[in-house]
Amino acid sequence: MFMSATVSTSLPHIVVVGAGFAGLNFCKTFPTDRARITVIDRQNHHLFQPLLYQVATAGLSAVDIAQPIRAILNDKPNLEVIMAEVTGFDLTAKKVRVGGDGEIAFEYLVLGLGGVTSYFGHDEWAQFAPGLKSLDDALKIRRKILLAFEHAETETDELRRKELMTIVVIGGGPTGVELAGAFAELTRTVLEKDFDRIDPTKARVLLIEGSPRVLNSFPADLSASAQRQLERMGVEVRTGIHVSAIRDGELEIPGETIRAANIIWGAGVSAQPLTRALGVELDRAGRVKILPDLSVPGHPEVFALGDMTALTDRNDRVVPGLSPAALQMGAHAAQTIADEIAFGKRAPVDRAAYAYRDKGSMATIGRSKAVAMIGKLHFSGFPAWLAWLAVHLIFLVGFRNKISVLLQWTYSYLTYKRGARVITGVSGDGPAHSA
């Protein structure tokens, strides 16, 4: 039902669910003369998630960080792409359930389902504090932020105007820090000259983190540097604070209720709920506990990769939920399966165990502001920002995207302006349809 006439049916069949970093790199790495591959994703595009916050803060357009999956893989023979919703699995029968009643059989299954925003048991907060995991999320946040300032321009009540010009970011990890810094830049250097009746430089940007410091996964010196850089930009950083309630336009923290037109959630990630349909052991965050060769226990033909997994590698290192790890896992699984097909199936004990190669960690804060850790080298400010920029350009998928992003960043850096401030989709209840 789903098979394309251009794909050979005489080869072993691999089904790849999810075209994120792990799934896409699997397809790009795997020699498709050894098997036919069916890629299934509910979106038609691959999203470069590390730059998603720049779409949400009007720094980049959606098309700068997304590329059609078909365009990326169109040079791969024996590979087809299906845009569909996976609804379940029958691992015993080796079938993937798609849509209402569709099924696709496989010899190998590669899962790269990614993660979703976690509200730590308070899913009711989602309607008041959106997370940032998709282009729709980013466009919705951008529209809401820009509309708040438009409404503030004509608001006569001073208290309501302050609420409209208040942005709260919950979560002091990389996503929260990047959002808070970008919002501070947006209000203080970009929107400053756009309005006549309000002063956007007086906008209030708060970053709330439950642990004692921001960027808790970074060394203490880089964490402190990040906080200093944020505060110099005008961000109010509050650490050791836990949110107790979120309602429409307000949140509660110990001893205080904060009114804000925009509350953004960047505090937690959990695995896709679809992992529960696998019928295998999961951790508390819903991630699949996989074996060192990246396969699912009891199912050596099923591989799980990226954010949806919990793994300690062969060097006893916990593999982080970062894009470099997902890319490496995709390549490792591709090599394993390609070898088994080429040389005949081996017992799972003969498979090579995966080892994570740490290439460092970075977080950008704003224009010429970032922190970076590469090996034992810690640095911050402009050098870290240059390193961050170079790394992200290298990993962007598609030549056009790299040129477009480079031009946008150069323009923003030299002029303090951002070119993605068009508001669309104001009428209707759906997400913004912005570019």
Question: Mean pLDDT throughout 369-382?
Answer: 90
Q: What is the pLDDT of residue 4?
A: 43
Among 3.50.50.60, 1.10.1740.10, 2.60.40.290, 3.40.50.300, what is the CATH number of 13-42+84-117+270-350? 3.50.50.60
Please, what is the average pLDDT of the chain?
89
Q: What is the pLDDT of residue 417?
A: 63
178 a catalytic residue: yes
Q: What is the pLDDT of residue 43?
A: 94
**Where do runs of H (alpha helix) occur along 155-263?**
158-164, 174-185, 220-232
Please check whether residue 76 is in contact with residue 7, taking contact to mean a CB–CB distance below 8 angstroms.
no
Q: What is the pLDDT of residue 322?
A: 87
Residue of higher predicted confidence among 240 and 426: 240
Question: Mean pLDDT throughout 357-366?
Answer: 88
Rounded to whole angstroms, what are the CA distances from 354 to 20, 280, 301, 319?
Answer: 19, 20, 16, 10
Q: What is the pLDDT of residue 354?
A: 96
Given a cut of 50, whether residue 239 has pLDDT beyond it is yes
Q: What is the pLDDT of residue 397?
A: 64
Q: What is the pLDDT of residue 3?
A: 46
Q: What is the pLDDT of residue 346?
A: 60
What single DSSP character describes residue 252? E
Contact partners, residue 140, CB within 8 Å, separation at least 6: 130, 431, 432
Given a cut of 50, whether residue 352 has pLDDT beyond it is yes
Looking at the chain, the domain(s) classified CATH 3.50.50.100 span 123-267+360-415
Looking at the chain, the domain(s) classified CATH 3.50.50.60 span 13-42+84-117+270-350
> Strand, helix or coil at 18?
coil
Please check whether residue 271 is in contact with residue 116, taking contact to mean a CB–CB distance below 8 angstroms.
yes
Point out the least confidently predicted range of 39-48, 68-77, 418-427: 418-427
Q: Write the pLDDT tens digit of every residue in 49-95.
A: 988 998 999 888 888 888 899 999 999 999 999 999 999 999 999 99
Question: Mean pLDDT throughout 355-376?
Answer: 88
Write down the catalytic residue from 155, 163, 178, 185. 178
Percent of the chain with pLDDT over 90: 71
Given a cut of 70, whether residue 130 has pLDDT beyond it is yes
Q: How many CB atoms lie within 10 A of CB 398?
A: 18
Q: How many CB atoms lie within 10 A of CB 45?
A: 20
123-267+360-415 is a CATH 3.50.50.100 domain: yes
